[in-house]
A and B are shown apart, each in its own frame.
Chain A
């Protein structure tokens, strides 16, 4: 049960403020903003997504530089409220095409209209863009997408390859194209965020892929869609099925009964994991997904509703080939000096190019000066910086072609003699990057089938892959 919902700009201005139940004082937005702003001083670190001030619970999520906030006095499910805030942000984005402060300010009346239908007296009514369409009458004022800074996973495609119709992703689900007709198209994005930790000796300590299959449909008439994944896809390690039944060992009859169901559920899974199989640790699905034939042919059937949503989220810890190898060497070079060599090697095919690479490394706090030495020919592609205030080195590369290796040399000057082991005072090296048209898990969409309305009906289908770094770290 939510009492108020408001959206604040980064500076703390109310862009929309809706009071549903009148149980929380009006100045709550200010109380909230002050608390979040000064959290570092009062407590420590960042303000958690849920906190309590004088009996009022404040929830917030940050989306595109905006703060979506809900308040309540009731001891509600935090997960429900945070999911809801995130969903509201997504619904607004579906409507406005682009979600940022500017578009929200221009369309705040529309947002009020949406908020009125999404929540009534604190209770969620619907968050389906599809359903909302019939209740919401304001036309979105579309903000020029080209002026927009890169925000969210959709933006990555715009810089990647020319094949991507970049603006389509930022298209509103209700606004029509300038020509007056909407283009029939559907976007399926396989986005994988990878986390890898390398030990000082280059050994992989932990690795995980968190993937999601996102869909954004601009198809009229809600046709059914079939999405086929790898045949050899396995779910659950050690043969665990995604369907499991509970049974009580002490009741043999019940147990037998449930075993039967269990076996039925499990028949679709082959128990042999060949070298080429993709094994997911676990996955979950959007409500609209029918899994009837998933066990047999790894096909997801769904009727996509309007707007953007995740068809499937998955998690994988099966070993994979990390796209980059990082090598860092930090050595003392005389009194008050040290030398650093950073090497990054791209371990993927040369047909693929990674972009927006940023390598960062904290250096000892008593570092005063860093001079960089680049490899020949790197000038146009590379930026280097020493952030004095946070004592970290930043090495940016626009592009890295598969198979290549890049090196950065730097000389560090200190104000004091390092005590003990200098590598304990610096690092770890962390890296962010985006690799379009590449996925490390080998999970694939084999085909995307749209139920045909007529022979001439042939909508655009975009299936795209991208790999991003989540936490990509090498220790010293």
Chain B
């Protein structure tokens, strides 16, 4: 514990300032140690207080250990407590001296006052010294049997402490099974709750090595235990209720009656004043009803009011925690909240982290009926004194414009922003107008008129400047001054610090040149010269490329640089639906607040108090368990697309967009520009029949420029036939880890032949069939008509894995396939193999 800077601290009775005092304290403690004079306890109290306050501010007072222990022989409970606190803090660094304390702690463990027994036991277990564990077992054993519930609650947590010091001692003493017995029989609910916490921790840690612990951990989710806890739920403290509810959220009821019973039992928990209880209850409701679309929706309706009440009562911090959860629900089902938009209006005194969430929610719930009001409100924020929030409000208006069909009024608002003449407002609005034009080119007339009036000198931010330049190039035929504005920008080339802006400038001048050659020729020459001399690699490369392609053929150059436009239908989402689903699975955890799944910010062992419902943990492992009813339902429970199918659709949509992005008119960041150019060149110059292979294209660009361009990765040698290892093995945990880490390489839909559907009497048939093609199943589940499989395969002679998620709907005859691969370049080949194997199913 490093002492914090002492100099700024004012001296105060509880905060001594010098380290020299430590030796002073040592002397005084010594004098008092043997004394039996009246009033000595009071003097000791004062001294102990000083020691503890030193400890608090980080001064090392461990050298007083011996003296503190000597002074601890007292019947004054306040003194005892201070002494225990001290000992607990320093025993670990003083293991030898810690032995001194064992004696009096053990004696206190047998005191007739239960308070002293409990305190002593807690301190004994808090010493955290490995070679003292032998002294813990006895007192813990009797503590668990103590007739006072306070001592028992302390003893249960003591077992957990012991486990962390020495797991084997704890297991050998058979403490876990004693805890299990206590959990099911103790009359005190805090004892029960502590048993549950301790067992969850112990069994989760043991589960990786012990089959039995794994079973025990699973057994916590069994019907008898869940019902036992649920029936007593109201006896538990509000904190213990959260613990129980967290467990219930993982329980899988066998039928709908059970689901309704549980929900009706917990219904009044939604009215609890403690937000943590309400959120834990909501998680239970969400998880229970995932497969029941109607009821799930009913749940959303039901939880709305309690959540809104929690958001507006309590401290700003508490309301933020609830608001984050409301946020994720709104994002999942915006239509359910569309009439509540006024609750998401920002209040002027709210912290910016709250405002930011609210802006996102307002954007999400905007629909035909409320857009006008929401946009009006957002426009008010644009003049906000809080500039970052003002910026985000403008962006929110833009996003709403992009998701609505009737953008008429919104375009007007955006144009008004441009007229406000505040630098940051103009900057944000320019970026938006650009995006808007990419989606709705039909608005160009109105926008261009306004954009044309903006002096490029007033626009400084790179993103905004780039947007303005893009519009100048794109609509140069409609903007009279375009060539001259561009020319003046080219003249100031050296003053332009942003590479992105210079890249855009090059392209814009090119586009302008094709439309108005005589006016632009000078500017183009100057721009190319400046660009080729540019120290920025991308700018240099692009200038050179333009120069050479112009030399080669001007009309080809035009087709490359300024091809016919196609409006962008959907902009790629920043967060994949897979990540969103994972965050939703981790409802009522930090994942929701951070908007990141737990693997992105936490080590495996800290994911959650009771984390074992990983994606695959929910599925049965191995082929033989596929017909297990429970596992089948788990898959169903895991299947998010039953209520809000949007996620899956979104993904396919956005991935198809990525494909078509190459023809989108906007030259995005430098990296994707290459992709677009490569493909365009291919179509323009060689125009081969199959334009899907980027490898070939990048070779083409190499030839064209005669330069060893670093941007294109060296293409792997074409692999005509992919051979799979028929005896591949993969640990489920490895699979899980890889599935989480790897990006989706391919996502496809595939039809299954009628014979295949006919053969699909049971999932096992498919598993056997795929295995004959060296594709192995690692987990499967589902109920007719939806089945979900996880397959893996390994490349022969190389340990490169292919992972597949395959969702088969037998009524539609469609299979949705997601492939992830260690080696992305061969995923296409593997996909072909997989599909051919799948298509042969039922035909043999």
A associates with B: yes
Binding site for B on A (CB under 8 A): 1, 11-17, 19, 21-22, 26-27, 29-30, 44-46, 48-50, 52, 55, 57, 60-63, 72-80, 82-86, 105-106, 108-109, 112-113, 116, 120-121, 123-128, 134-135, 137-138, 195, 197, 205-206, 208, 210, 212, 236, 240, 242-251, 254, 258, 261, 281-287, 310, 312-315, 362, 419-420, 424-425, 427-428, 430, 470-471, 473, 475
Return B81 CB to nearest CB of chain A, in Å. 6
Interface assignment of B306: CB less than 8 Å from any CB of chain A = yes
Give 7 closest A-B pairs by Cβ, nearest first: A45-B352, A471-B347, A282-B305, A80-B276, A49-B317, A124-B239, A313-B313
* Residues from chain A with Cβ under 8 Å of B320 in the complex: 48-49, 82
Beyond A77-B280, A116-B85, A246-B295, is A109–B273 a contact (Cβ under 8 Å)?
Answer: no
Contact with A along B94-131 (1 / 0, CB 8 A): 00000000000000000000010000001000101000
Main SS class of interface, A: mixed
* Residues from chain B with Cβ under 8 Å of A75 in the complex: 586, 589-591, 598, 601-602, 606-608, 611
Interface assignment of B551: CB less than 8 Å from any CB of chain A = no
Contact with A along B242-279 (1 / 0, CB 8 A): 10001000000000110010011001100111111011
Beyond A135-B115, A282-B308, A425-B383, is A125–B322 a contact (Cβ under 8 Å)?
Answer: no
Interface assignment of B813: CB less than 8 Å from any CB of chain A = no
* Residues from chain A with Cβ under 8 Å of B449 in the complex: none
Complex Cα distance, B419 from A116, in Å, reads 61
Complex Cα distance, B285 from A245, in Å, reads 12
* Residues from chain B with Cβ under 8 Å of A127 in the complex: 237, 239
* Residues from chain A with Cβ under 8 Å of B657 in the complex: none
Q: Which of B122, B348, B377 has the most CB of A within 10 A?
A: B348
Complex Cα distance, B161 from A242, in Å, reads 43
Pick the contact of A78: B1, B160, B321, B601 (CB < 8 A): B321
Determine whether the beta carbon of B294 is less than 8 Å from that of A206: no
Complex Cα distance, B374 from A205, in Å, reads 12
Beyond A82-B321, A471-B348, is A76–B275 a contact (Cβ under 8 Å)?
Answer: no
Complex Cα distance, B313 from A250, in Å, reads 37
Determine whether the beta carbon of A281 is less than 8 Å from that of B295: no
| Supplied contacts A48-B320, A282-B309, A428-B348, 4 more A-B pairs, CB within 8 Å | A77-B589, A282-B306, A285-B272, A310-B313
Determine whether the beta carbon of B608 is less than 8 Å from that of A244: no
Return A464 CB to nearest CB of chain B, in Å. 19
Determine whether the beta carbon of B78 is less than 8 Å from that of A420: no
Determine whether the beta carbon of A44 is less than 8 Å from that of B308: no
Instruction: Using CB atoms, name the residue of chain A closest to B419.
Output: A420
Determine whether the beta carbon of A137 is less than 8 Å from that of B82: no
Return B343 CB to nearest CB of chain A, in Å. 8
22 A-B pairs, CB-CB below 8 angstroms? A48-B320, A49-B320, A60-B317, A75-B591, A78-B592, A78-B593, A79-B276, A83-B274, A83-B314, A108-B14, A108-B56, A116-B81, A135-B150, A243-B267, A244-B302, A249-B294, A282-B309, A313-B309, A314-B309, A315-B309, A430-B348, A471-B350
Determine whether the beta carbon of A246 is less than 8 Å from that of B321: no
Complex Cα distance, B348 from A421, in Å, reads 21
Return A304 CB to nearest CB of chain B, in Å. 14
Determine whether the beta carbon of A17 is less than 8 Å from that of B345: no
Pick the contact of A137: B81, B197, B292, B349 (CB < 8 A): B81
Instruction: Using CB atoms, name the residue of chain B closest to A246.
Output: B263
Complex Cα distance, B419 from A254, in Å, reads 61
Complex Cα distance, B322 from A77, in Å, reads 11
* Residues from chain B with Cβ under 8 Å of A121 in the complex: 126, 157, 160-161
Beyond A109-B52, A424-B420, is A246–B298 a contact (Cβ under 8 Å)?
Answer: yes
Complex Cα distance, B49 from A127, in Å, reads 24
Instruction: Using CB atoms, name the residue of chain B closest to A30.
Output: B4
Contact with A along B157-175 (1 / 0, CB 8 A): 1001100100000000000
Determine whether the beta carbon of A108 is less than 8 Å from that of B348: no
Complex Cα distance, B197 from A420, in Å, reads 64
* Residues from chain A with Cβ under 8 Å of B419 in the complex: 420
Interface assignment of B406: CB less than 8 Å from any CB of chain A = no
Determine whether the beta carbon of A77 is less than 8 Å from that of B279: yes
Return B356 CB to nearest CB of chain A, in Å. 8
Determine whether the beta carbon of A76 is less than 8 Å from that of B590: yes
Complex Cα distance, B275 from A428, in Å, reads 32
Determine whether the beta carbon of B590 is less than 8 Å from that of A50: yes
Return B202 CB to nearest CB of chain A, in Å. 12
Complex Cα distance, B354 from A50, in Å, reads 12
Determine whether the beta carbon of A137 is less than 8 Å from that of B78: yes
Complex Cα distance, B687 from A201, in Å, reads 63
Q: Interface extent on B, as a size class?
A: 35 or more
Determine whether the beta carbon of A240 is less than 8 Å from that of B305: yes
Instruction: Using CB atoms, name the residue of chain A closest to B154.
Output: A120
Beyond A13-B4, A79-B276, A195-B347, is A73–B264 a contact (Cβ under 8 Å)?
Answer: no
Determine whether the beta carbon of B8 is less than 8 Å from that of A11: yes
Beyond A60-B317, A108-B56, A246-B267, is A73–B275 a contact (Cβ under 8 Å)?
Answer: no
Beyond A121-B160, A248-B292, is A48–B349 a contact (Cβ under 8 Å)?
Answer: no
Complex Cα distance, B346 from A195, in Å, reads 11
Contact with A along B202-244 (1 / 0, CB 8 A): 0000000000000000000000000000000000011110100
Beyond A73-B602, A212-B313, A284-B271, is A109–B594 a contact (Cβ under 8 Å)?
Answer: no
Pick the contact of B238: A30, A240, A254, A287 (CB < 8 A): A287
Interface assignment of B312: CB less than 8 Å from any CB of chain A = yes
Determine whether the beta carbon of B609 is less than 8 Å from that of A76: yes
Beyond A11-B8, A79-B321, A84-B239, is A251–B256 a contact (Cβ under 8 Å)?
Answer: yes
Contact with A along B69-98 (1 / 0, CB 8 A): 000000001100110010001001000000
Beyond A82-B321, A86-B318, A138-B78, is A1–B609 a contact (Cβ under 8 Å)?
Answer: yes
Determine whether the beta carbon of A22 is less than 8 Å from that of B92: yes
* Residues from chain B with Cβ under 8 Å of A73 in the complex: 602-603, 606
Q: Which of A75, A116, A197, A249 has the most CB of B within 10 A?
A: A75
Contact with A along B400-425 (1 / 0, CB 8 A): 00000000000000000001110000
Interface assignment of B457: CB less than 8 Å from any CB of chain A = no
Complex Cα distance, B324 from A284, in Å, reads 20
Interface assignment of B676: CB less than 8 Å from any CB of chain A = no
Instruction: Using CB atoms, name the residue of chain A closest to B345.
Output: A206
Q: Which of A13, A55, A80, A109 has the most CB of B within 10 A?
A: A80
Complex Cα distance, B81 from A17, in Å, reads 15
Interface assignment of B36: CB less than 8 Å from any CB of chain A = no
Complex Cα distance, B194 from A314, in Å, reads 33
Instruction: Using CB atoms, name the residue of chain B closest to A423.
Output: B383
Complex Cα distance, B359 from A59, in Å, reads 23
Interface assignment of B380: CB less than 8 Å from any CB of chain A = yes
Complex Cα distance, B77 from A396, in Å, reads 52
Instruction: Using CB atoms, name the residue of chain A closest to B342.
Output: A206
Return B128 CB to nearest CB of chain A, in Å. 6
* Residues from chain B with Cβ under 8 Å of A281 in the complex: 305, 308-309
Complex Cα distance, B603 from A239, in Å, reads 48
Determine whether the beta carbon of A210 is less than 8 Å from that of B313: yes
* Residues from chain B with Cβ under 8 Å of A243 in the complex: 267-268
* Residues from chain A with Cβ under 8 Å of B501 in the complex: none
Interface assignment of B618: CB less than 8 Å from any CB of chain A = no
Return B360 CB to nearest CB of chain A, in Å. 14
Instruction: Using CB atoms, name the residue of chain B closest to A29.
Output: B4
* Residues from chain B with Cβ under 8 Å of A72 in the complex: 606
Interface assignment of B310: CB less than 8 Å from any CB of chain A = yes
Interface residues of B in 1-37 (CB under 8 A from A): 1-2, 4, 8-9, 12-15
Return A356 CB to nearest CB of chain B, in Å. 16
Return A401 CB to nearest CB of chain B, in Å. 26
Q: Which of B92, B309, B586 has the most CB of A within 10 A?
A: B309
Pick the contact of A473: B268, B348, B607 (CB < 8 A): B348
Beyond A75-B607, A236-B305, A424-B420, is A83–B77 a contact (Cβ under 8 Å)?
Answer: no
Determine whether the beta carbon of A82 is less than 8 Å from that of B318: yes
Interface assignment of B388: CB less than 8 Å from any CB of chain A = yes
Determine whether the beta carbon of B309 is less than 8 Å from that of A283: yes
* Residues from chain A with Cβ under 8 Å of B377 in the complex: 205
